[in-house]
Structure formats: C-alpha cells, structure tokens
C-alpha cells in the first residue's frame, strides 16, 4: 500500500478528489472527457446545468480516498473515471478506475516500476493526465514510460 504523509500531498489529493467529484455530479450519459482539458483540448464542455460552485458538502455526489500521489487530471468515459497515481517514493505507477456514479474503485493496476529522479516540488511522479479512445486508457509517467490498459484494467 502506498501512503500519503506530507501536507502538500494531502492538498494535492484533495484537489484531485475535488476534480473527480465535479465530474461525478454530471449525469452518467454526460459528455465524455477523454483527455486533458476535455474533448477538444480547450477546457470547454457542451454540458449545461452544471453547478457553478461547490464545497466539501455542496454539489458533491461522492468522495473516494485515492492512494499515493498524483497531479494529473482525471478523465471520464461513460461510467468510468480514470486517473494515475504513484507511490510516495515514485517507484510504483498505478492507473485507477472508479465508478462514475458512486465513486467505488473498480480496479487499481500497477503498470510498472520506474526509477525516480529529481522532480519539482509542485509535481508528482504521476503528473501527465491519461487519455482514452473509448477502448483503451493510455498513460505516461515521470520517466517517460507509457502503458495502455483496457477498461477492465488489463495491460495491453
């Protein structure tokens, strides 16, 4: 199990969870968000009626603790929310899928081990945002290693 110990990491985890929760409150038939900054890479959505503000209690559908460290944005396809995370020391790289409706972790797959080096204190070893084509999830980590997984969490 990988743990979170520094206050900075806790804030990062909180930000990640907040982003996940924003996606989670949209209906399950809502627009897919397959990459960083959305469908066209512009950070815009065609969805309407989305909340304009939220807090720890307002406009939140669910909360799920996420192990490890991450700085990537979550992506959404259908009923899946995908994100990357790495162990605190940066060696163990994971892809996690959550159920969009309830926030339950569907799977947590370790895709590989990397040799971590220097990183900026504002980042993590799981900074790049995943991407999907609706069939596979593509991820990249600190050392430039790539992986592809199917929606069941199997490395392809």
Mean pLDDT of the chain: 83
Query: What's the rounded mean pLDDT across residues 95-115?
Result: 95
The whole-angstrom separation of Cα 72 and Cα 61 is: 21
Percent of the chain beyond pLDDT 90?
49
Distance in angstroms (rounded) separating the CA atoms of residues 4 and 31: 32
Which of these ranges, 20-24, 98-102, 134-138, has the smallest mean pLDDT? 20-24
User: Are residues 93 and 84 in contact, defined by beta-carbon separation less than 8 angstroms?
Assistant: yes
Q: Is the pLDDT assigned to residue 103 strictly greater than 80?
A: yes
Query: Is residue 128 helix, strand or coil?
Result: coil
Report the alpha-carbon distance of residue 84 to residue 128 in Å, rounded. 8
pLDDT at 3: 43
Cα→Cα distances 92→8, 60, 75, 88, 121, Å: 19, 30, 21, 9, 18
Question: Closest by alpha carbon to 79, among 24, 7, 8, 125?
Answer: 24
pLDDT digits (tens, 9 = 90+) for 16-39: 444 544 444 444 457 899 998 888
Assess contact for 70 and 86: CB atoms under 8 A: yes
Choice among 18-32, 77-91, 119-133 with the minimum mean pLDDT = 18-32
pLDDT band at 107 (very low <50, low <70, confident <90, very high): very high
CATH for the stretch 7-43+52-150: 2.40.128
The rounded distance, in Å, linking the Cα atoms of 8 and 110 is 23
pLDDT at position 29 is: 56
């Amino acid at each position: 199990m990988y743990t979170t110990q520094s206050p900075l990491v806790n804030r990062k985890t909180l930000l990640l969870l907040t982003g996940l929760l924003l996606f989670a409150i949209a209906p399950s038939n809502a627009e897919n968000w397959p990459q960083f900054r959305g469908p066209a890479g512009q950070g815009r959505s065609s969805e309407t009626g989305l909340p304009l503000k939220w807090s720890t209690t307002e406009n939140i559908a669910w909360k799920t603790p996420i192990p490890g460290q991450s700085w990537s944005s979550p992506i959404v396809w259908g009923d899946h929310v995908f994100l990357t995370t790495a162990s605190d020391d940066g060696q163990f790289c994971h892809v996690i899928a959550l159920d969009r409706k309830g926030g339950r972790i569907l799977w947590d797959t370790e895709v590989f081990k990397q040799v971590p080096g220097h990183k900026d204190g504002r980042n993590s070893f799981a900074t790049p945002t995943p991407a999907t084509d609706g069939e596979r999830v593509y991820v990249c980590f600190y050392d430039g290693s790539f992986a592809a997984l199917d929606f069941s969490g199997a490395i392809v």
